[in-house]
Amino acid sequence: MDVMTAVLTRRSEHHLVEPAPQDQEFAYLLRAAATAPDHGRLRPWRWILVRDEGRAALGRCFDECAAPAARHDGPEAGVRGAPLIATLVFSPVRDDTGPGGPVPEWEQLAATSAMTGSLILLLHARGFGSVWRTDGLTESERVRRVLGLRPGERLLGWLHIGTPRRPGPSRRRVPEDVTDRISVFTPELTGS
């Protein structure tokens, strides 16, 4: 699948079944995704892969931490809804003294997002579906503890990964006109 096709046919897949990529295949795809722009090649992120019994344990933690209204929707059931739950942890590098000096945290977050976007497209190109889920549980101290987050790290959410339940290729999106989001800088307009 070429890149344009991957971009135009990728969808967030909410109904996922086995198979999901095994750890070795996930690592292979992540190596490619990690070539996304990353000033200083800091790799200010890490992934925690949750499968099988881990999904059940994380689901129970989610259910215990969720607000009563959210329990009705079943956070635990959501975790069990995909064969692989890849937890994205933002680990900003605060003491970078390499070439160019410290990289601002916002730039490290942008690099983490770029890597994740690349990973999502690579998964899609391999026939896997995914959906990036975030909610208030990313701020839960108990969830942070259960997942073993270190001080200064932040949960950015969970990439639910598996094979889309619905058969067939995704319908190709028609790109919208976004020319109103583009401007061209002309120095004579600044008065400088």
Residue type, 172: R
Predicted local distance difference test score (pLDDT) of residue 72:
45
Q: Which of 181, 177, 161, 180 is nearest to 26 (CA)?
A: 161
- Count of CA atoms in the C-beta half-sphere (13 A) of 169: 11
Predicted local distance difference test score (pLDDT) of residue 99:
58
Predicted local distance difference test score (pLDDT) of residue 140:
94
Predicted local distance difference test score (pLDDT) of residue 94:
86
Mean pLDDT by 10 residues, the chain (192 residues): 93 94 98 95 96 92 76 53 95 75 91 98 96 92 96 96 83 90 85 60
Length of the chain: 192
Q: Could you tell me the residue ranges of all domains in the chain? A: 16-164
Domain 16-164: which CATH number of 2.60.40.3080, 3.30.465.10, 3.40.50.720, 3.40.109.10: 3.40.109.10
Tell me the pTM. Answer: 0.87
Q: Which two tokens stand for residue 166?
A: 């619905």
- Quickly count: other Cβ atoms within 10 Å of residue 11's Cβ: 14
Predicted local distance difference test score (pLDDT) of residue 40:
85
Those residues whose C-beta lies under 8 Å from the C-beta of residue 28, and which sit 6 or more positions away, are: none
Rounded to an integer, what distance in angstroms lies between the CA atom of residue 30 and that of residue 114? Answer: 12
Q: Which residues pair with 129 in a beta bridge?
A: 162
CB 20 within 8 A of CB 162: yes
What b/e readout covers 129-144, taking b as 16+ CB neighbours within 10 angstroms? bbbbbeeebbebeebb
Rounded to an integer, what distance in angstroms lies between the CA atom of residue 61 and that of residue 55? Answer: 10
CB-count burial class (<10 Å; 0-12, 13-18, 19+) for 163:
middle
Predicted local distance difference test score (pLDDT) of residue 80:
67
